[in-house]
Structure 1
Amino acid sequence: MTPSALSTQIGLSGAAVTYVVQRLSEAGFVRRGSDPRDRRKVILRLTERGGQVVRDFSAGISSHLHETLADVPDDALERAHRTFQVLVQSMRDYRATLPSK
């Protein structure tokens, strides 16, 4: 992912992303590399250490959600899923109306 794509994805300014990426790089969680198709572009990649943090965090969240939702009936989960799909699409539609940075 490029820093610009990350900026768009998380809604931070380019300067803020540069700062965060620098700190993550210094901590050994991400590394900068060149795009093989365009060496002028910077590509951000997780290091093994960064990937492990993501995997551990994701596993913890997944386990917690599984325990939390274990007693919720399937039909209630299906209704919630449909509701969240509508909300996410609404947010995407709204974001598309905003002026680009």
Structure 2
Amino acid sequence: MKSPLKRSQDQEKKLADRYDGTVNSGSGNGWIHKNDVRSERFSFEAKTTEKKSYSLKVDELIKAEKNALISGREMVFAVELGGRNWMVLSQETFDTLLDT
């Protein structure tokens, strides 16, 4: 069984590889790039759990969105749950994806 840190690092690397982005080293404790992964268009905040549920809090979403906007990107909140990533994004971001 992988440690929570290893699962988190694996999730971030997979997101970076899939969306042609980079992992932001020290995103939780640094001040330059706050979300976990960034691509040209998106800033990903990544969470992972082996539990059957994840408690999503509005404060987490707002913080991730603010960090994305500061870097000129759109926020995606990725929750790895049940072995899959579930992407959470604002309706405004979703609407822009429909327009492209």
TM-score, normalised to structure 1, is 0.29
TM-score, normalised to structure 2, is 0.29
In proportion to residue count, which structure has more helix? 1
Structure number with greater CO (CA < 8 Å, separation at least 6) is 2
In proportion to residue count, which structure has more strand? 2
